[in-house]
C-alpha cells in the first residue's frame, strides 16, 4: 500500500505550485486557476486522511470545499468581468485602486 506521506508530499508539491502561480502570474485568470490548484491540493490531503483513518468526515469536507470552490469561482469571475468592464484589462499590475 502507499504510505500516507506520499500523498502529503504530492499535495504539498501541488500546493506549492499554486502558491508560485499566484505569486508570479500577471494574468488574473491564471491567478484564479492557481487558487484552484491549491484547493485541489487540500482535497487530496482530505481524501488521503479519510482513507488512512477510515473516517468519512474528510470526504464530507471535500464536498464542502467543492461548494466553496464553486462559489469562489462564480464571484471571482464576476469580479473579473466587472474589472474588465471598467479598466478593459486583466493584468494585475494595472489594478491599483486599493494600493497605497
Partner 1 sequence: MSQLFFGYFAGMIVITSILVVALKNPVYSALSLLVMFFHVAGLFITLHAEFLAAVQIIVYAGAILVLYLFVVMILNVTQDDRYHSQWRIAGVVCIPLFIESLLLLSGGAGAVNTGSRSLQSGPDGAIATDNTLAIGKTLYSTYLFPFEVASLVLLVAMIGAIVLAKKDIGQRET
Ranges within 12-71 binding partner 1 (CB under 8 A): 12-14, 16-21, 23-27, 29-30, 32-34, 36-37, 40, 43-44, 47-48, 50-54, 56-57, 59-60, 62-64, 66-71
Distance CA 81, CA 32 (A): 13
Residue 91, SS3 per DSSP: strand
Closest of 73, 49, 72 to residue 60, by C-alpha: 49
- Reported as half-sphere exposure (CB side, CA atoms, 13 A), residue 43 has a value of 15
Nearest distance from C-beta of residue 100 to partner 1, angstroms: 18
Site string for partner 1, 67-96 (x = CB under 8 A): xxxxxxxxx-xxxxxx-xxx---xxxx---
Nearest distance from C-beta of residue 95 to partner 1, angstroms: 13
Amino acid at each position: 500500500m502507499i504510505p500516507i506521506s506520499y500523498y502529503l508530499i504530492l499535495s504539498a508539491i501541488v500546493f506549492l505550485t499554486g502558491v508560485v502561480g499566484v505569486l508570479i502570474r500577471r494574468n488574473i485568470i491564471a491567478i484564479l486557476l492557481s487558487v484552484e490548484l491549491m484547493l485541489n491540493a487540500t482535497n487530496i490531503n482530505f481524501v488521503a486522511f479519510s482513507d488512512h483513518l477510515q473516517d468519512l468526515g474528510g470526504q464530507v469536507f471535500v464536498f464542502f470545499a467543492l461548494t466553496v470552490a464553486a462559489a469562489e469561482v462564480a464571484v471571482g469571475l464576476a469580479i473579473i468581468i466587472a474589472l474588465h468592464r471598467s479598466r478593459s484589462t486583466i493584468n494585475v499590475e494595472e489594478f491599483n485602486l486599493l494600493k497605497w
